[in-house]
């Protein structure tokens, strides 16, 4: 699968620790050795709580393999940061999408689906479907 173009996943959180932990969880649950490029973009450039357009753009560039980039966010201003980058038009790789999905469950679904070689639309759909997961 190493020659296959895989959808990249960016996880944007107000906390660098949360973003990195969710990335680790999603990759771990997708299976050892998964080749899916996943990058956390958490906190600010100075290590504070918040979001950083620069960190998001760098994370997206780092996971772009030509099959698109799915961006999942935790809270409101993270969404606004990604929307602003998308509106700029040249800040994020071509075929980058903000995915409306729960952060943890959506990240796991996105990475597991991307690991199968699915396209960006399928990765987005799998992540969004995580809204329907019931716990009781």
HEC-encoded secondary structure of the chain? CCCCCCCEEEEEECCHHHHHHHHHHHHHHHCCCCCCCEEEEECCCCCCCCCCHHHHHHHHHHHCCCCCEEEEECCHHHHHHHHHHHHHCCCCCCCEEECCCCHHHHHHHHHHHHHCCCCHHHHHHHHHHHHHCCCC
For residue 3, is it within any domain?
no
Does 68 reside within a domain? yes
* CATH number of domain containing 125: 3.40.50.510
Check residue 11 and give its pLDDT: 98
Question: Residue 89: left (phi > 0), alpha (psi -120 to 50), or beta?
Answer: left
State the catalytic residue, choosing from 11, 12, 13, 14: 14
55 within some domain? yes
Active site residue 95: no
- Residue 90 forms part of a structural domain: yes
Kindly report the pTM of this predicted structure: 0.94
Which of 85, 93, 82, 88 has the alpha carbon at shortest distance from 5? 93
Q: Which residue shows structure tokens 């509106």?
A: 87
Q: What is the pLDDT along the chain (136 residues), one digit of tens a residue?
A: 455 799 999 999 999 999 999 999 999 998 856 789 999 999 999 999 999 999 999 999 999 999 999 999 999 999 999 999 999 989 999 999 999 999 999 999 999 999 999 999 999 999 999 999 888 8
For residue 82, tell me if it sits in a domain.
yes
**Would 78 be classed as within a structural domain?**
yes
Q: In the chain, how many domains are there?
A: 1
Asked if residue 2 is part of any domain, the answer here is: no
Question: Looking at residue 1, what is its pLDDT?
Answer: 46
Residue 54 within any structural domain of the chain: yes
What is the domain range of residue 72? Answer: 8-132
């Amino acid at each position: 699968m190493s020659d296959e173009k895989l959808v990249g996943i960016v996880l944007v959180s107000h906390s660098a620790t949360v973003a990195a932990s969710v990335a680790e969880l999603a990759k771990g649950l997708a299976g050892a050795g998964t080749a899916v490029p996943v990058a956390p973009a958490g906190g600010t450039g100075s290590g504070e709580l918040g979001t950083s357009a620069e960190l998001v753009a760098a994370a997206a560039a780092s996971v772009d393999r030509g099959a698109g980039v799915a961006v999942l966010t935790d809270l409101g201003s993270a969404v606004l940061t990604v929307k602003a980058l998308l509106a700029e038009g040249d800040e994020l790789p071509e075929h980058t999408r903000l995915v409306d999905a729960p952060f943890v469950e959506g990240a796991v679904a996105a990475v597991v689906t991307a690991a199968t070689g699915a396209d960006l639309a399928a990765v987005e759909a799998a992540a969004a479907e995580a809204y329907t997961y019931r716990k009781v």
